[in-house]
A and B are shown apart, each in its own frame.
Chain A
Amino acid sequence: MSGTLLNCGYVPLVDCAPLVIAKELGFAAQNGLALNLVKQPSWSALRDMLALGHLDAAQMLSPMPVAMSLGYGGLAARVDTLMVISVNGTVFGVSNALAEELGDVRFGDARALLACLAQRRGAPIRVGVPFHYSMHRLLLSYWISVAPDLAIEEVTVPPSRMADAVADGLVDAFWVGEPWGSVAVHKSVAHLKMTGRDVWQFAPEKVLAARHDWVRDNDETVGQLMRAVLLAAQWLDTPKNKPLAVEILARSEHLSMSSDLIDPAVSSHLVPYAKAPPIKVDRFVQFHRHASSFPWRSQAAWIAHQLGAGDAESASAKACFRSDLYRRHLSDIGADLPGASEKVEGALQYETAVASSRGHMILAPDAFFDGRTFDFGGLS
C-alpha cells in the first residue's frame, strides 16, 4: 500500500460496506490513501481509540459524534461527522414467544405493532439495543413515546450476541443492525416485525467521523478519505455490483460469515421468520442514492433533540455534521449537492425533486410514522 496512511476504526456490520469497498476495490488507493481498517470489539472501545488519537477516523453510530461533542456519556471530545455512511438498515424483531402473543401484525406496520404491544399486560418488555447512543435506541424511544402505558426496559447487548440473548430469554425483543437480525431468524429464535424505516423513513445510521482538531489539521487527507468513501458508496448502490459486495463483506477479515446472512440486507429482501418467503423492503440500507451520504445539519439537530438537548445545544450540535466539508471536497468529483444544508425532518411523504448543483437530486421520503415534523431552521 502506498499513499498517506490512515487508521480507520470500524465494527464489522453490513453497513460498514463503503469503508471495506473503498479499501478492497482501490478507491482509497486511487485517491492517494493507504486505508488501514482497524476492527473494533465494541462501540465504547472504538470511541476511546478515536478520542485518544489511536485512530484517525472511524465509522460511528450517527448519535455518537453528537453525544460526544455535547459531552454526554463516556468520553467527551469534539468529534465531527464528515459524511453519512449509510441510511436505514436496522430491524426490530421479537422472540418466538412474543411473536405468538402478538399474532398477525402486518410486517412494517409500526402503529399496529405498537398498539398490540401496549395492550399486553405484565412485566416490561426487555428490548436489546447495541449501544445507548445509537439510532436504534433513539428510534425505539421515539416510537414508544406515543404509547405512554407501554413499559420497556432497554438492555444493551453486543450485536453478535443478540440472537443468543433472545434465545436464552434475556430479552423479549431487539433492535439491531444487519446481519444480526437475519442471524436470529436463521437460528429460528426470532421474528422480524419491522425495519427502522417504518418509524423514520430516512434515518442516518452510520457516519464517518473524526476528531475536530484532526479534521482542521489534515484537510487534504480528509478530502482523500471522503472522496474514496463517496466513490465506494456510489459503486455499492449500483445493482449489478451487489453480489460482489456481498462476497467481499463475507470474507474472513471482515464479517467472516456465510454470504446468505449478508445478502438479505444488501439485496433488500428480508426473511421475517424461519422458512418464510422474503419480503422486499424499499430503501433498506442506502449508501448513496437520494443524497444519503450528505450530512444534513438538521439530522444532527434531530439527534441532539432526541438525546434531550435544549435549543442552544441542538443548535450547536448542527456544527458536528460537516456539510461544509462535503460541499468543498466532493463537488469536483461530481457529487450532486443540495441547495440547502438543512431540511424540515419528516416533511417528505414522497420522493421529491429539489434544487441541487447538478439538477438531478431526488430526495427520498423522510416522514416519521406518526407524521410529526421537525423544523430546526430557527435554531442557530
Chain B
Amino acid sequence: MKSDLRILVVEPNPDRVREIVNALEAAGWSDVKALEQISALDRTVRDLSPDIVLIDLANPDRDTLEHISYATEASKRAVALFVDHTDDNLTKAALNAGVSAYVVDGLKMERIKAVLETAIARFEITRQLQSELDAAKQALEDRKTIDRAKGIIMRQRGLSEEEAYTLLRKTAMTQSRKVMDVAQALVTAADLLS
C-alpha cells in the first residue's frame, strides 16, 4: 500500500515542484503536498505532520526544518535520513542528486525506499535542466559583455572586429586572466568614464 505515506516537498521553483509531485503521484502516492518556503512560525509543517519531507540539500531552509523537528514531540519527530546507515548506496545517491530527506523516526526503510528513488531521479533531472538553463543564460550574458568590449576597442582604436578580439585575448593571456574578466573590466571602466 503506497498511498498511506504523507509526503511534503519543500521547493521554491514551481516547475521543479510540479515535476517532483507529478512523478510521485504517477508512481502511486496520492498524499503529496508542496511548500515554497519554510517559515518557522508557520504551523503548516507541524499540521501536515508529514512522514517524509523532501528538500534540496542546498536549500537554506534546512536549518529551520531541523529546528521544527527538534521542537516536535518525540514520537512524530522527523530525523535526517542520513542518520540511517542501513542503506549507504541510497544515502550516497541522494547526496549526489542533492536531495535531503527527513523521515519520521522508526519508519521502515523499505517503505520509504521507493519514494526516495523516485525523488532522487526527479531531482537529478530537474537539477540538470536548471544548470543547463543557467549555463545558457550566463553564456549569453558573457557574449554581450565581450561584444560591448570589442565595440569599445573598435571605436577607440579604429580596429576591425577580429583585431579587437585578438587584442582582448592577448591581454587576457599576458595577464593570465579570463577574456571575460578583461572585457568586464573594460566595460566597467568605459561606463565610469562616459
Contact = CB atoms under 8 A, between A and B. Distances in A.
Interface of A: 41-45, 48, 51-52, 54, 73-76, 126, 130-132, 154-158, 160-161, 170
Interface stretch (B4-12, B56-64, B120-128, B168-176): B56-64
A10 to B, nearest CB: 15
B63 A131 contact: yes
A223 B68 CA distance: 38
Contact of A155 (B41, B60, B70): B41
Contact of B41 (A51, A126, A131): A126
Contact of B82 (A43, A75, A126, A157): A75
Interface size class of B (residues with CB under 8 A): 20 to 34
B66 A52 contact: no
A126 B64 CA distance: 14
Contact of A161 (B60, B66, B91, B95): B60
B40 interface: yes
B157 interface: no
A51 B60 contact: no
Interface in B145-159: none
A44 B70 contact: no
A130 B64 CA distance: 8
Contacts of A43: 63
A52 B83 CA distance: 10
A43 to B, nearest CB: 6
Contacts, number: 72
B82 A130 contact: no
A45 B70 contact: no
A158 B82 contact: no
A158 B41 contact: no
Given A132-B67, A156-B40, A160-B60, 11 more contacts: A42-B63, A44-B63, A51-B82, A74-B79, A75-B82, A75-B83, A132-B66, A155-B67, A161-B60, A170-B39, A170-B41
A190 to B, nearest CB: 17
A44 B91 CA distance: 15
Nearest to B57: A45
A52 B63 contact: no
Contacts of A170: 39-41
Contact of B64 (A45, A48, A158): A158
Q: Which 7 A-B pairs have the closest CB atoms?
A: A156-B67, A158-B60, A155-B40, A44-B62, A41-B58, A156-B64, A42-B62
Contacts of A157: 40, 64
